[in-house]
Every structure is written in structure tokens, then in C-alpha cells.
Amino acid sequence: MKKTILPILSAGILFLNTAVPVFAEVKQDEVVPYLTELIDYIEKNYVGEIDSQKLIEAAMKGITSTLDEYSVYYTADEYSAYARNTARTIYTVEFGFDMNRNGEFHIVEFENGQVRNDDGLRVRDRINSVNGVSTQGLSLSEMKGLLITTNSAPLNLNVTRGDRTLDIKAKVYPVEVKTISYGSYASYIGLEDENVDKSVGYIKIDTFGDGTADEFRSAIAALRREKKTKLILDLRGNTGGYVDQAISICNLIVPSGTIITTKDKAGELQTYKSTLTEVPFKKTVVLVDDMTASASEIIASALQDSGAGVIVGEQTFGKGVMQSVVEFGDVGTLRLTMFEYFTRNGRKIDGVGIKPDYEVEDILFVQEGDKPSSKRLRDALIYLGYSVNTENDIIKSIGKFQISEGLDATYKLNPETVSKLNLRIFEKQKKIDEVLMQGYLICLR
């Protein structure tokens, strides 16, 4: 490849005419030698400081930035931080820290309540660096990230104590990362009222990391021991994670059949299937929002397409593509979009999302003329805490509500009662998790 050096055109201001290319047009099979020659040329001629590793990293980031929003190049440090977010076990120090008004980080406490620990650290030590990385200018969350690792090797801290600067190896301790929380619906909302159905369980999945499927298996077993026969599965705000964990969870809750089918660049198809013969709950309601994405959408779509789950909430995000992670030695790590997936019924998810079976706005508020058998009236009374086991219960509950509101106890839905019911529903919606409550209502149908 022939290099063309352009002339300096002006006295006083030095610049190049960038309309003329420095290198000849590059063919696809010449890209690698072209980049090599370009970096070599910069290193030999650029008058400023050169860091060859940073040049390579910048080139990799520039290449991947032209792809889709999910393909990412990571430096070693960046990938380490990414791995921490999905690790089942992380390691961190036993002390607490805070930042003063000058942006300096100081140790403020140890877990045992002492003023020092066995590593030689003391309360009020100022932390200057962690494993050679300066703490200057970091935020509290960035500092917290520096003190978290995925292995048990001690952290090398440089600290200032009075007029001395010390290098200290700080031990780290394992912390199990939980990606799931669960319990009864009643206990979750902090209500043990006699009208709350105790057979409804609740599982919230925050993300899909190492071990999420194992956590889910344990959660199901615990809820079944507590005689839960219905489940609210909360996937709101869950933007995804490890797809293999989502597939494993589908094998615990989705009846036998296709979960998803993936397609690669060559058009090759691979189908992932559930072999489950008996679902663990009589009814499953899945809560979603516009941040429910990727692995979460795999579970939601599999439950919806199989008829084993009812979807409640908002249209989901619509990330129907999958990435593979490839390491390139010292160069870095690439997360590249390599597959698109389709649901059990062949639906495309990417850029489309999943439409809920029940939109949030479609469920509550009564109307004049609703009969005691009306789903809308029944849902509204349950929402306000009244008994609706039989039609007679519903009529009695209308009367109880009227009495509580100072209205005439007609036991019928007159305009005043409808107005008061809808007012109380509106007031309660402002204080309570509406989507969760509506998921509960659907569980009871």
C-alpha cells in the first residue's frame, strides 16, 4: 500500500488537505495489514505520546460501534466489570467507606465494629488506589466497583495514614449474589388480611446471572411446600443476561415443546425445547414492562405461546437477538450479535416485543350497570379488600362499602356508589403497585 504524504500549505497555521487520502483505497482482504501499517505509521510519526494498546482498543471500539447496539468490545478491565455483574459469587472487603467533600475515600467502619483489622487497615485511612487504579475523581459507585472482584485474591490498597503512605494487601470475602426474591403474595405486599388469597406465590427475577436457574428451582420448591398453587412471576425491569439460564428456567415452568428457535447468519436453525410434563402451578401470571427484554422475553413468550402463562403490564422492549462472547487474548473480549430468535409459535420478537394479554389500563374501574357477576366489579371489590367468593358475598360487600362511605346501604350499584368506588380505586392506585395488584386479580379468576 503506497503512502502519500501531503504538503503543509500555510505559514503560521499548519494543516493538511484532508480531501486527499493518506492511503490508497483498501480492499476487504487488505484490512488487517492496512490497520497494522496505519498503527505502525502513527507510532513512527506522531509527535505526541503513543500507547499502542490504546490504539488497538480504539480501533476495536470503532469497528464494533458501527454494528448494532448490543455488540460491544471490552478491554480487560471493562470485561472484568461486566463479569462481576453476572457472577454467582463475588468477593469484596470487610470495611465500609465514604467520600468526603474533597472527593477522598476514607475507611469509616469494619464489620466487627473495631477500629482496625488484621490486614493492618484502620478507620480513617484514606484509600489512594486499588490494584494500582487511582481513586481520584471516582464516584461512590465506581469506588464500590473497584473493591469487588470475582476471585479470592487480596486487593492491593495504597492508603495514607497521617503523614505516612502504606501499601496493604486487603483480604476479600465471598458474597453470594441473589438474582431472585420470592415469597407469598400476601407477605410481599405486607398484608395478611383474611381476604388475601394465601395460595398465590410471588417470584421476582432481577437478572439472569450464574445460578439464576438454581435459585428459581429452589424458589419453586419452597412455594410448593407452602401449598402455593398460583404464581405471579415478576420480570419487570429485567433486561436479560445469560440465555442458558432462561432456557433452564423454561424447563421448570413451561410445558413440553419448543421454547425458542434461533437462526444464525447462514440461516441455520437450532430449536431449544422444554421437556416438562407437568407444570408446577395451576396458574401463572407474568408481569412485564417496557424494560423487560432479551432472556426475560424468552420466558414470557414461551409461557404465553404455550398457554401456560398470562402476560400483564406493558409492551416489552423487543430484544430478539442473542450475543456470543469471544475472547481475543490480550487484545480484549468481543460480545457479538450472532443469532436472532423466534418464539414457539414463530413470532419475531426483535424490534417488536411482546404484547400483554392484559394492558394495565384495561382491568379496573367499575361502571354503572355492572352486575354482581361482572368481572370488573369483582376485581374492584377485591382490589379494595372486600370478599367476593359468591355472588351473595359481592352484594353484601357493596353494602359494606356504602356504609363505610356514609352512603345509603342499597346493596346496588347506584351512581353515587360507582363514583365512590372509582375514587377509592384511583386513590389506592397512587399508593400501591398497580400492575402487581392486577396480576393478583387475574390469578384469582
C-alpha cell at 156: 492491593
C-beta of residue 4 within 8 angstroms of C-beta of residue 19:
no
d(CA 436, CA 360): 10
Q: Is the pTM of this model over 0.75?
A: no
Separation between Cα atoms, residue 209 and residue 342, nearest integer Å? 22
| CATH code 2.30.42.10 region(s) in the chain | 89-175
CATH no. of 89-175: 2.30.42.10
Question: CATH 3.90.226.10: which residues of the chain?
Answer: 180-359
CB 284 within 8 A of CB 303: yes
Which top CATH class is 180-359? alpha beta
Is residue 244 a contact partner of residue 272, using CB atoms and an 8 Å limit? no
pLDDT confidence of residue 23: 43
Amino acid type, 92:
T
CA distance linking residue 347 with residue 361, whole number of Å: 25
List, for residues 345-368, the tens digit of each pLDDT value: 999 999 999 999 998 754 567 877
Give the pLDDT of the chain (445 residues) as one tens digit per residue. 444 444 443 333 343 433 334 444 545 566 667 777 887 888 888 888 888 788 878 888 888 888 888 888 888 777 777 776 667 788 999 899 998 888 899 999 987 778 778 888 999 999 999 999 999 988 887 898 889 888 889 999 999 999 999 999 999 999 888 899 999 887 776 666 566 788 999 999 988 988 899 999 999 999 999 999 999 999 998 989 889 999 999 999 999 999 999 999 999 999 999 999 999 999 999 999 888 999 999 999 999 999 999 999 999 999 999 988 888 777 788 888 999 999 999 999 999 999 999 987 545 678 777 888 888 888 888 888 888 888 888 888 898 998 898 888 888 888 888 888 888 887 776 666 778 877 888 888 8
Strands 148-149, 155-161: pairing kind: unpaired
d(CA 97, CA 92) in angstroms, rounded, equals: 12
What's the pLDDT score for residue 192?
A: 60
Strand, coil or helix: 142: helix
Report d(CA 78, CA 124) in Å as an integer: 30
